[in-house]
Amino acid sequence: MPLIRSTYGKGRVRIMRVKRDTERHEARELNVTVLLTGAFDASYTSDDNSSVIATDSIKNIVNIVARDNVGAETEPFAAALATYFLDRYAHVTQVDVTATETKWVRIAVDGVPHEHSFVLDSNGNPFVKLAATREGVSMTSGIKGFTFMKTTNSGWENYWFDEATTLKPTADRMCATAMDASWRWAKAPASYPEANAAVLATVLKVFATTYSPSVQNTMYLMGEAVLAAVPEIAEISMACPNKHYLPIDLSPFGRSSDGQVFTPTDEPHGQIECTVGRG
């Protein structure tokens, strides 16, 4: 039986980099997966391991590259990691790197961000996915679980009605999501952190200031605005589960909800996805 395809590597390599060459330290924590593709078939189809770079060695290389690139943002760090393998191992044809960030933000002391003390920022986990060969690199940045909501300025009306429809239309509802999004770079921006921050700021501005007739329409408008704001992005993909807040029936207790008391639920949820690109 033929071996159709294969890849292998090391997952969940956790690394904290602290750039401390000045009094203002920079802390960057990542969870890294490295997968290698190349001339490794013999290790699957026979007992020949001679070409296999041990996964423990791959973990060590992540640590080495981290030490050599302490101050690098996630995207350049992922690129440096892939380059290390391609430069040193001729039989490696492709390196796939996924690096997910644990975000730390500075503690404010009397309104001033502290130089070396941080608190965990739990809203969303940024990530980078990079696929590198000797012919080229494909780079994608993104975020998982970026959660936001608004208490009004959202509705759901004029949808398909048939015998299975029980949901009542409304022009005024809460709207919330925990967005997974990724954006593919056409070229490198002047600053990845600034460009990535602009993506999220643009998404939130559209969400907060635009009436939402549907999550679908809001996602499309957010994608359009991101592409206008960050010209280095080729396309953006978003998945937005519709986290529901259901009005509670308080009539048995002689009270009305009046759009003020809800039951939060995210199971089951509407799953809405789209990709917006340049024409």
Q: 148: phi > 0 → left, psi -120 to 50 → alpha, else beta; which?
A: beta
Respond yes or no: is residue 244 known to be catalytic: yes
C-alpha dihedral over 206, 212, 214, 217, to 10 degrees? -40
The residue from 33, 55, 133, 275 that is catalytic is 55
C-alpha dihedral over 51, 56, 59, 65, to 10 degrees? -60
Contact between 124 and 145 (Cβ < 8 Å): yes
The residue from 10, 59, 129, 243 that is catalytic is 10
DSSP, residue by residue, 77-118? HHHHHHHHHHHH-TTEEEEEEEEEEEPEEEEEETTEEEEEEE
Q: Letter for the amino acid at 106?
A: R
Respond yes or no: is residue 10 known to be catalytic: yes
The residue from 59, 129, 243, 244 that is catalytic is 244
Cα dihedral sign for 145, 148, 152, 154?
negative
Respond yes or no: is residue 98 known to be catalytic: no
Question: Among all residues, which ones are annotated catalytic?
Answer: 10, 55, 244
